[in-house]
Structure 1
Amino acid sequence: MGEAIADERSTTVEIKDLSFTYPGIDGHPPPGSAPLIDGFSLTLHAGNRCLLVGSNGAGKTTILKILGGKHMVGPEMVRVLGRSAFHDTALTSSGDLSYLGGEWRRDVAFAGFEVSIQMDVSAEKMIYGVTGVDPQRRDELIKVLDIDLSWRMHKSSDGQRRRVQICMGLLKPFKVLLLDEITVDLDVLARANLLKYLSKECEERGATIIYATHIFDGLENWPTHIVYVAHGKLQLALPLAKVKEMSNLSLMRTVESWLRKERDEDRKRRKERKLKGLEEFDRAVEGTRVIGDPAKSAVRVVNNGWAAGRLHSTVAGEENFTFSSNRVLRQ
């Protein structure tokens, strides 16, 4: 229903015919794999507050990570502030492009992946540890998020840790901000205060915000634009006013109707496949397999195919390398 969102202000985010598939460990998409994001195009401008909506697995997080420069794509496919999101590392290091998503986590060898960071350190030390920050902006964020600087991270609740994380992510004045379900742990008051602050950033400084969420409390009039994604493809990109013209329902009920229709169509499609004797779901392609020589040969060189934090080989079908550096664990 429209790939570009019309606006007279300067273009800040531009996605052109983006296609993306997560690569296997040989660095290439597994043979036969379908693109997770396919033919996606979108343009946003200074001052836009874009609400990114879609069902679980629609590709919202992947799109935000690509915009945040966390996945490599062609330099012309994704441009932020006129520069390549992946190739121009100064975008993120300068703070012009900021990505906030998920909890603070790290990988710990032989303990697991995505382990929450809950060290014994104060909120004050973490926040004041960020250098090159405007003291007035820092004080305002501490007040907006109602942060007690004496909080200890290993004793704080998930919501309190989240407030500190958000504060640190917003300390430098961003031009483009990417939010991936970042308010999930916040209470009603903290979330309302944050949304109000973010609106001010767009209105007064011309910042652009893309916010992916399933929580619609307080969002009825917050976004300026709505972008709906399904199965990695753009379904709709319109100003909020146009969306309201299309539906007499609230924003949440409108999005709910889109998702219900999408679910019903998926169920119908699966039923038709079953009647034809096909599998109800498409068979998933194993994304961690290394196919063919020289890819497999290359992986053998890197710790014989073993990855940190795992007790098994990451190379399919090669479970017992004789010379693995982890072989002592299997003796």
Structure 2
Amino acid sequence: MDFIELDGVEKVFDVRRKVGRLRREKYQVRAVDGISFTVPRGEMVGYIGPNGAGKSTTIKMLTGILTPSGGRLRVAGIDPSRERTRLAQRIGVVFGQRTTLWWDLPLRDSYRLMHRMYRIPDATFRQNLDRCVELLDLAELLDVPVRQLSLGQRMRGDIAAALLHDPEVLYLDEPTIGLDVISKAKVREFLRDLNAERGTTVLLTTHDLTDIEQLCKRVMVIDHGRLMYDGPLAGLHEVGESERTLVVDLERELPPIEIESARTLKVEGPRQWLAFPASVSAAPLVAALAERYPLVDLSVREPDIEAVIAKMYAERSAGPLA
């Protein structure tokens, strides 16, 4: 069963801009331009693109915050803009730059208010809260006012808040923004378990391709309001011909590294930068380097999504890609 359905969905905003000293001119901005896709129940999908591409506008239409200008949209068979209250019981939302928590209240009190607002059974609320507190490491933060939390702490608090009422679908907009490496790993593990154990449908928007790689088998790319790609992440890298960068620290300064499937970008003393296709695993390359060269340290840098999309534009005309 397709849990989320979009068919030719559009969103057009009327905007006025100043022309001359006194006159204002009205024009339209097409934020979402005829997008169609479906998401089966229980699937975890990455929904990515550059700033201003239309990702957040799509999410807002899926939650009922915005009404589509055209097309058909359903979530669990419900029209979000017409039955927003009914749908609210079945969805959870986390916007990275906005919080659903009460700014001056301790985290615990925000959760108690949500307990009442969503009319969550007491046993379900306690069970879900205890699980989120443990897995998201929130125990020491429950009595801290939200305004005193760091961005990363608040993000973990928002994720817990979105799950207290057992939503069937979870919309995540930049869920790991502001998190350190350890916290990111915890959030990713939590989301993987949530999807596997409870079959929660997840639509994830992020600029961090590591989030997508570790969580999603399917990725959709949107730009200028149009769906440019829908398929596996490896296919996206192949379409965009993107590359990852391997930063290698050697014991001493050496000539540029020569190794199959990689090319040297830059050499600065004992540090060298190698580029290799993002669609292939880094493991064989790292193993070959360790065998042939005196390694001290290395790290992998993911390709920038804007660069991937720019290459897609350069090679193919706008529109959906197979």
- Tell me the TM-score normalised to structure 1 length: 0.65
Give structure 2 stretches of 5+ with no counterpart: 17-24, 242-276, 281-301, 316-322
Pairs within 5 Å for 1:1-331: 10-23=1-14, 32-73=27-68, 77-94=72-89, 96-104=90-98, 118-119=103-104, 121-131=105-115, 132=120, 134=124, 135-147=126-138, 148=140, 149-240=142-233, 242-243=235-236, 248-250=277-279, 252-253=302-303, 255=305, 257-261=307-311
Residues in 1 aligned to 2:58 and 2:172: alpha-carbon distance in whole angstroms: 11
Would you say the 8 A contact 1:46–1:202 is kept in 2? no
More RCO (CA 8 Å, sep 6+):
1
Q: Distance in 2 between matches of 1:156 and 1:175?
A: 28
Residue 106 of structure 2 aligns with an amino acid whose one-letter code is S
Alpha carbons 1:50, 1:209 under 8 Å: kept:
yes
Between the aligned partners of 1:179 and 1:222, the Cα distance in structure 2 is: 12
**Deviation digits for residues 60-101 of structure 1 (CA, Å, limit 9, x no counterpart):** 11111111111112696111011112111244431x122211
Count of aligned pairs between the two proteins: 243
> Which 5+ residue runs of structure 1 have no aligned equivalent?
1-9, 107-115, 266-331
| Aligned equivalent of 1:293 | none
Q: 1:245 to 1:216 in 2, by over 3 A?
A: closer
Amino acid aligned to 1:47: G
| Distance across 2 between alignment mates of 1:81 and 1:245 | 33
SS at match of 2:68: coil
2 CA distance for matches of 1:232 and 1:33? 13
Distance 1:245 1:98, change over 3 A: same
Aligned-residue offset at 1:240: 3.9
- 1:54/1:81 Cα in 2 relative to 1: closer, same or farther (>3 Å)? same
Q: Residue 327 of structure 1 corresponds to which residue in structure 2?
A: none
Provide closer, same or farther for how the CA distance between residues 13 and 42 of structure 1 changes in structure 2, counting only shifts above 3 A: same
Looking at structure 1, the residues matched to 198 and 99 of structure 2 have their Cα atoms a distance apart, in angstroms, of 31
CA distance in 1, matches of 2:58, 2:98: 20
Percent identity for Structure 1 against Structure 2: 26
TM value normalised by structure 2: 0.66
Q: Is the 8 A contact 2:13 2:29 kept in 1?
A: no
Distance across 1 between alignment mates of 2:4 and 2:226: 17
The Cα RMSD (Å) is: 3.1
Q: Distance in 2 between matches of 1:72 and 1:216?
A: 30
243 and 262 in structure 1: CA distance in 2 versus 1, 3 angstrom threshold: closer
1:245-294 deviations in Å (ceiling 9; x for gaps)? 766415943845422326768xxxxxxxxxxxxxxxxxxxxxxxxxxxxx
